[in-house]
Amino acid sequence: MRRAASEVLLPRFRTLASGDAEEKSAGEVVTIADRECEAMLEQGLAAILPEASIVGEEAVHARPGLLDRLGDPLCWIVDPLDGTGYYAEGQEPFGIMIALASGGRTVGGWILDPLADRLCWAAAGAGCWIDGQPVRCERGAEVPPVIGLSPLLQRRPERLQAVRSRLEGHYRIVDIPRCAAAHYPAMLSGGPDLTLYERTLAWDHAPGALMIEEAGGRCARLDGSGYRVDDAKVGLLVATDQALWDGAAARLTDLPN
């Protein structure tokens, strides 16, 4: 991850030429750095575990059938550049995210902030670390608790209004960056107490969801089921402790789709 950051992402940051970034779908940007970084990461991961499948964000855009590999016995999941929109504009945050899944469950996760050279990682059943130091979620002292809402909810005004109507007065609602690589570590380091995500693609959430759980928080669907990388459900509630999760989930029960 550090090699990809130093050889691909950082040299191209704020130096993208005309034509180095393009819109791959509505509201989604891809750059030459995304593609080059993913290729380098895939090469390295294949050398570590040759028997594992590899599902990268940009590869899936070209070959959607790769999503069927997410439930394989071993599968690397790669987001070579989370926060591409910011990166393409010469802004931050952005990061690299990798997860290792087994049978649809995340067993390892890594998030690298290339600018700060901060590495977060977690292993199922073994804990969570930031730069080699074990970390535990800490509930904020602010009353009411702070909840961040996924920027993608802005695209669904009726659902956003339904969410806000259930939360206002009970939580302080804040905006969060469209960069899970920045937001999950922020929650581990005294950021918002809760976050409600809308879209939950594996490369965006597999590493961070594991980190929250291993640090003592709770990350689950609104029906209480755990996060799996191989399902296509919408909505993910993340909290720094079980009690916070329970309270918010109760208010969001039967939220219309």
Amino acid at residue number 125 = G
Longest dimension (CA), the chain: 52
Taking only Cα atoms into account, the Rg of the chain, rounded to an integer number of angstroms, comes to 18
The two three-digit tokens of residue 58, written as one number: 């940009």
What letter does residue 64 receive in the DSSP assignment?
A: G
Domain ranges of the chain: 2-134, 146-251
Side-chain-facing half-sphere of 154: CA atoms under 13 Å: 10
Q: Which residue in this structure is represented by tokens 């977690």? A: 122
Name the CATH topology of 2-134.
Fructose-1,6-Bisphosphatase; Chain A, domain 1 (3.30.540)
Nearest of 120, 132, 125, 136 to residue 102 by alpha carbon: 125
146-251: same fold as 2-134? no
Question: What integer pLDDT is reported at residue 110 of this predicted model?
Answer: 98
Question: What integer pLDDT is reported at residue 254 of this predicted model?
Answer: 81
Nearest of 241, 225, 257 to residue 192 by alpha carbon: 241
For the chain, give me the number of helices (H) and strands (E)? 9, 14
Question: What integer pLDDT is reported at residue 70 of this predicted model?
Answer: 98
pLDDT tens, per residue, the chain with 257 residues: 999 999 999 999 999 999 999 998 878 899 999 999 999 999 999 999 999 999 999 999 999 999 999 999 999 999 999 999 999 999 999 999 999 999 999 999 999 999 999 999 999 999 999 999 999 998 888 889 999 999 989 888 999 999 999 999 999 999 999 999 999 999 999 899 999 999 999 999 999 999 999 999 999 999 999 999 999 898 999 999 999 999 999 999 888 76
Q: Phi-psi region for residue 225, left (φ > 0), alpha (ψ -120 to 50) or beta?
A: beta
Question: What integer pLDDT is reported at residue 222 of this predicted model?
Answer: 92
What is 146-251's CATH number?
3.40.190.80
Is the dihedral angle over the CA atoms 242, 247, 253, 255 positive or is it negative? negative
Question: What integer pLDDT is reported at residue 22 of this predicted model?
Answer: 93
Q: Where are the beta strands (DSSP E) in the chain?
A: 21-25, 28-31, 53-56, 75-82, 95-102, 105-113, 118-123, 127-130, 133-134, 146-149, 172-175, 194-197, 218-220, 236-239
What letter does residue 9 receive in the DSSP assignment?
A: I
Question: What integer pLDDT is reported at residue 63 of this predicted model?
Answer: 96
Question: What integer pLDDT is reported at residue 140 of this predicted model?
Answer: 80
